[in-house]
Amino acid sequence: GGQTWTKAAGFNLGAQGPRDNRTWGMSRVYLAADEAVLPGPQKIFQWIVTAPAIPGDYTFQWQMLKEGVTWFGPLTPAVTVKVR
């Protein structure tokens, strides 16, 4: 896109599979307060997730969004995580 991504502008990585789920302990991964991702470069998000306590198969999938505006860009691959 043509916009700089910042936390203040509402750019986040959001949970999918299903949308806005809190399966992994959060539904958003935020940019750092002082971070600015210029148009063109890639951004790699790294964070710690908490697996669900109840055994089962869970979908781990994410997508970028601008809060209150739109979801955009490709979804990450849907990975099935088996909790035992």
pLDDT tens-place string over residues 4-46: 999 999 999 999 999 999 999 999 999 999 999 999 888 999 9
Distances (CA, A) of 56 to 8, 59, 80: 36, 10, 10
Whether residue 1 is predicted with pLDDT greater than 90 in this model: the reply is no
pLDDT tens-place string over residues 49-84: 999 999 999 999 999 999 999 999 999 999 999 999
Whether residue 2 is predicted with pLDDT greater than 90 in this model: the reply is no
Q: What pLDDT is attached to residue 41?
A: 86
54 half-sphere exposure, CB direction, 13 A CA radius: 3
